[in-house]
Amino acid sequence: MFPKNAWYIACTPDELADGPLGRSLCGQRVALYRGAGGQVAALEDFCPHRGAALSLGRVVGDNLMCGYHGLVMGCDGKTVSMPMQRVGGFPCIRSYPVVERHGFVWLWPGDAALADEAAIPALPWSDNPEWAFGGGLYHIGCDYRLMVDNLMDLTHEAYVHVGSIGQDEIDASPVRTRMEGETVVTSRIMQNVTAPPFWQDAMRANGLDPDAPVDRWQISRFTAPSHVLIDVGVALAGKGGFEAAPEYKASAVVVDFMTPETETSHWYFWGMARHFKPEDAALTATIREGQGRIFSQDLDVLEAQQRNLRTFPDRRLLALNIDAGGVQARRIIDRLVQAEKTMTTAADAAEAQLA
């Protein structure tokens, strides 16, 4: 249950450093590689000769050579050559629109004619020296929408992430969910609280007294198909919260891109972009490690939840106010999937009329 006409993250550039990468994305087997010219390409991971996995081959110029019998496949899915063979009649394989941008490789698994690079989300921190970014990748055995729910309702921090970013006041502060155009926004503000350990560390790193009372904010933004960016941070109490001047706060963006693998598993690209001490690489590493540990706690919870939903497929879940963000996000996803179905039907009808 995912839209196909959308940009998803396929991998990070470092995953292509040592050669091609085979990965299942949105139910499709994809071979990704970087050509000699630096361009990233994505092909169906299927050699038209005998069905070998092209991702086990190697890059030759801007093409991908099958590692079994040397068929050279172009980045457009047309066979370029094969030793001692005429390849003109070889069947094409699928190639995917793919764009490297903001430190990620974005893939469009649907109708290539509709792929529009302008639809790739802007990540304002990505080319900005005032920001630093660190992140990682987890493979998680659950529907990506369970992760969207998770991220659009940070109440769980009080329970899943005790001792790092969780604190009791989370529960005591109401959440608000609203639409900003096609973006679902869920926000929670905690006023005049003590920062939890993760943020105390950040305050210390940023030259603030970690024991000072703070205003803390969490503003999750979902955009289709499956991206969640979360403004998080603390400012000295009464200095304006999210709007406070830089010297009074420590703030960051939690970055979450989920790419479906199957209906019940996904690739989770997570990270944090921070707006303080960007030059401090050791701090980036420390935060990255801490975040990796925190997010792996979600993994256990979500995979157990997925098992339960498989065991009890007919049971209705509750949709409380704290779930509103996830509910709204699913509505957008449902609408997009429905629209793609209608589009396919219309295209089929048009074709039938032509025939």
Residues 6+ apart with CB under 8 A from 255: 123, 133, 135, 229, 269, 270, 271, 272, 273
Per CB under 8 A, the list member of 3, 20, 48, 110 interacting with a second copy is 48
C-alpha–C-alpha distance, residues 271 and 197, integer Å: 18
Residues 6+ apart with CB under 8 A from 146: 302, 305, 306, 309
Residue number, 56 or 189, with CB nearest to a second copy: 56
Task: By CB under 8 A, tell whether 172 contacts a second copy.
Answer: yes
Residue number, 5 or 155, with CB nearest to a second copy: 155
Please report how close the Cβ of residue 335 comes to a second copy at its closest, in angstroms: 22
Residue number, 307 or 335, with CB nearest to a second copy: 307
What letter represents residue 266's amino acid?
H
Q: DSSP per residue over 205-274, as a string?
A: HTT--TTS-EEEEEEEEEETTTEEEEEEEEEETTS-GGGS-GGGEEEEEEEEEEEEEETTEEEEEEEEEE
Per CB under 8 A, the list member of 92, 119, 179, 320 interacting with a second copy is 320
Cβ pair 152, 325 in contact under 8 A: yes
Residue number, 126 or 297, with CB nearest to a second copy: 297
Cβ pair 196, 166 in contact under 8 A: yes
Indicate if the alpha-carbon torsion angle 341, 143, 52, 94 is positive or negative.
positive
Taking alpha carbons only, the member of 69, 93, 67, 68 closest to residue 79 is 93
Lookup: tokens for 93 = 């394989």
Per CB under 8 A, the list member of 300, 331, 335, 342 interacting with a second copy is 300
Q: How many residues bind a second copy, per CB under 8 A?
A: 51
Per CB under 8 A, the list member of 113, 118, 318, 354 interacting with a second copy is 318
C-alpha–C-alpha distance, residues 311 and 317, integer Å: 14
Strands 28-34, 40-44: pairing kind: antiparallel
Tokens 């590493």 locate to 285
Task: By CB under 8 A, tell whether 301 contacts a second copy.
Answer: yes
Binding mask 121-150 vs a second copy (x if CB under 8 A, - otherwise)? ----------------------------x-
Please report how close the Cβ of residue 88 comes to a second copy at its closest, in angstroms: 12
Per CB under 8 A, the list member of 15, 19, 90, 136 interacting with a second copy is 90
What letter represents residue 42's amino acid?
A
Residue number, 22 or 77, with CB nearest to a second copy: 22
**Of the ranges 42-50, 227-235, 254-262, 264-272, which one interacts with a second copy (CB under 8 A)?**
42-50
Residue number, 311 or 353, with CB nearest to a second copy: 311
Tally of CA atoms within 13 A in the half-sphere of 175 that contains its CB? 24
Indicate if the alpha-carbon torsion angle 309, 300, 137, 159 is positive or negative.
positive
Task: By CB under 8 A, tell whether 305 contacts a second copy.
Answer: yes
Task: By CB under 8 A, tell whether 53 contacts a second copy.
Answer: yes
Task: By CB under 8 A, tell whether 176 contacts a second copy.
Answer: no
Task: By CB under 8 A, tell whether 159 contacts a second copy.
Answer: yes
**Of the ranges 214-222, 245-253, 266-274, 301-309, which one interacts with a second copy (CB under 8 A)?**
301-309
- Look at residue 33 and give its three-state secondary structure: strand
Task: By CB under 8 A, tell whether 64 contacts a second copy.
Answer: no
C-alpha–C-alpha distance, residues 65 and 78, integer Å: 12
Residue number, 148 or 244, with CB nearest to a second copy: 148
Tokens 């394989």 locate to 93
Task: By CB under 8 A, tell whether 95 contacts a second copy.
Answer: no
Task: By CB under 8 A, tell whether 155 contacts a second copy.
Answer: yes
Task: By CB under 8 A, tell whether 111 contacts a second copy.
Answer: no
Q: DSSP per residue over 43-59, as a string?
A: EES--TTT---GGGSEE
Write out the residues near a second copy by the rule CB under 8 A. 22, 29, 45-46, 48-53, 56-57, 65-70, 82-85, 90-91, 149, 153, 155-156, 158-160, 171-172, 174, 300-301, 304-305, 307-309, 311-312, 315-318, 320-323
